[in-house]
Amino acid sequence: MNSAANELASLVRALSSPEPAARERAAVAIFRAGCELSHSATQSWFLDPELASYVVRDRAGIPELTVGLAVKPETFEQIRAACGLPPLANVPPDQDAREFELEFLGAARLDVLTTAAPAGPGAIARFLQRSGEAIQQVEIGVTDVDRATAILRRRFGTTPVYPATRPGADGTRVNFFLVHAAQDRKVLIELVEKSPRSERDSLK
C-alpha cells in the first residue's frame, strides 16, 4: 500500500472516531482529495458557459460537489453509528448500493457507499474487490442531467456510461462519465439532478 492509500485508510478510520472534530477533519480531507482528483477532468466543463448554466452552485457560486466514498459494509456501519445514524438513501432495488450522506462545514459533502451484496457482481462490490476502500466517484449537482449529458457528448466528446439517464437514490436522475484525471488516473463523475421533492426536503 502506497503512502496516499495509507493516508486515505487512516482518514476512513477517523470517520468513525468518537471525537466529532476528528471526524470533521477526516471528512474535509477526503472531500478535498476527491475534488482535486476530479479537477483536471472537469475544470473545462465549468468554463463552458452553456454547460455551466446547468451546474448547481452554492451561495458563494461554487459548484456543488459531493465525493462518493466506497467502504466495506462493516466500516459503513461503524461510520454511520459514529455520525448519529444518518438516514439511509432510498436506492433503486436493482442497484448494488447502500448509502448515506454527511455534510461538514456547510460545504464538505460525502456520500458514504457500500455494497448490498459483498459477494455479488454489482458495481460497488466490484470496486471494493478491485480498489479497496477508496474514493469511488465525484458527484456534480445539475439542474438538467439530460441537457448536461448532451453537451458533454457534443462539445467534449465524452461518452456517458449509460445510453440514457437512469433513476438514482432518493428520486434523483443520474448518469456517469469515466474520465481521465491527474497522474494518469481515471475518475467516475456522476451528474445528479435532484427531484423537486428532494430539493424541498433539503431546504427543511
93-105 pLDDT per residue, tens: 888 899 999 998 7
State in words which class domain 3-202 has.
alpha beta
Residue 203 has pLDDT above 50, yes or no: no
Question: For the segment 157-171, what is each residue's pLDDT rounded down to a tens digit?
Answer: 999 999 999 999 999
C-alpha cell at 186: 481515471
Q: Where are the domains of the chain?
A: 3-202
Q: Are strands 134-141 and 173-180 parallel, antiparallel or unpaired?
A: unpaired
Q: In sequence order, which residues have a C-beta less than 8 Å from that of residue 158 and are 6 or more positions away?
A: 152, 177, 179
- Residue 27: phi and psi, rounded to 5, are -65, -45
Among the listed residues 40, 62, 87, the one whose alpha carbon sits nearest the alpha carbon of residue 185: 40
The residue that leads in pLDDT, 182 or 198, is 182
**Alpha helices, DSSP H, located in 15-65:** 20-47, 49-52
Cβ 94 vs Cβ 51: under 8 Å:
no
Q: Is 171 exposed, middle or buried (0-12, 13-18, 19+ CB in 10 A)?
A: middle
* 3-10: average pLDDT: 89
Average pLDDT, the chain: 91
3-state secondary structure of 141: strand
